[in-house]
Amino acid sequence: DVKVTQSSRYLVKRTGEKVFLECVQDMDHENMFWYRQDPGLGLRLIYFSYDVKMKEKGDIPEGYSVSREKKERFSLILESASTNQTSMYLCASSFYRGEETQYFGPGTRLLVL
Amino acid sequence: GDSVTQMEGPVTLSEEAFLTINCTYTATGYPSLFWYVQYPGEGLQLLLKATKADDKGSNKGFEATYRKETTSFHLEKGSVQVSDSAVYFCALSDPGGYQKVTFGTGTKLQVIP
């Protein structure tokens, strides 16, 4: 079975802190994605990566950055957390070609105070 | 750009009732269509998919047919169970590359005994 794990299920941070969210997948997928999920807005794509050291902006990249130093690991960074970044963050991965199904981690619920 | 519109919830049904969750899409190409399900406290998981017009996806008693003429992909189940209570997301995959997926806002289903 494909497994996507996220470093934390729940996080509480203070405004202005630097926050790292980590995602690891064990299926040798090329593509990895970070979404945020908010009530009434569904899932919105923050960033994605189709290869090591490659990244592409999604629909809402402002206030976020990402890092992909190894194929299996994709990190989301909040450089200076703000209260409007309180949300559920979901990581996903997929194969580069052919198989379009995305496999999701359990999510990290982030509260910024 | 691509978009997915699904019926707002929450939807409350009694056990063994018939379920329909409507989904329509807008896309420039010929996308693949998906239904994902999110159980409480978990990430999303693929429920079913269809990759071309008139295809029917099915899984766990759920079905959806890719209707190109009406740009729809409605989810149906003949007899829901309490264990089907979850949030259901309709989605489409951009065929242009990187398997970027556009999600609807989600429909919460609650099934009562």
Residue A95, pLDDT > 90, answer no
Chain B residues inside the 8 Å CB shell of A31: 98-99
The CA distance from B95 to the nearest CA of chain A, in Å, is 9
Could you tell me the two tokens for B6?
A: 């699904």
Residues A95/A87, Cβ–Cβ less than 8 Å:
no
Which residues in chain A touch residue B99, judged by CB atoms under 8 angstroms apart? 31, 94-96, 99-100, 102
Residues B4-63 pLDDT 10s: 999 888 999 999 999 999 999 998 878 899 999 999 988 999 999 999 999 999 999 999
Contact B98 A101 (CB under 8 A): no
Q: How much of chain A, in percent, has pLDDT values that exceed 70?
A: 96
Q: Are B46 and B27 in contact (CB under 8 A)?
A: no
Per the CB < 8 Å rule, is B98 touching A31? yes
Interatomic CA distance for residues B51 and B33, integer angstroms: 6
Quick one: tokens of B29?
């190409």
pLDDT digits (tens, 9 = 90+) for A54-90: 999 999 999 999 999 999 999 999 999 999 999 999 9
Q: pLDDT tens digit string along B48-101? A: 999 999 999 999 999 999 999 999 999 999 999 999 999 999 999 876 666 678
**Distance (Å, rounded) from C-alpha A110 to C-alpha B54?**
41
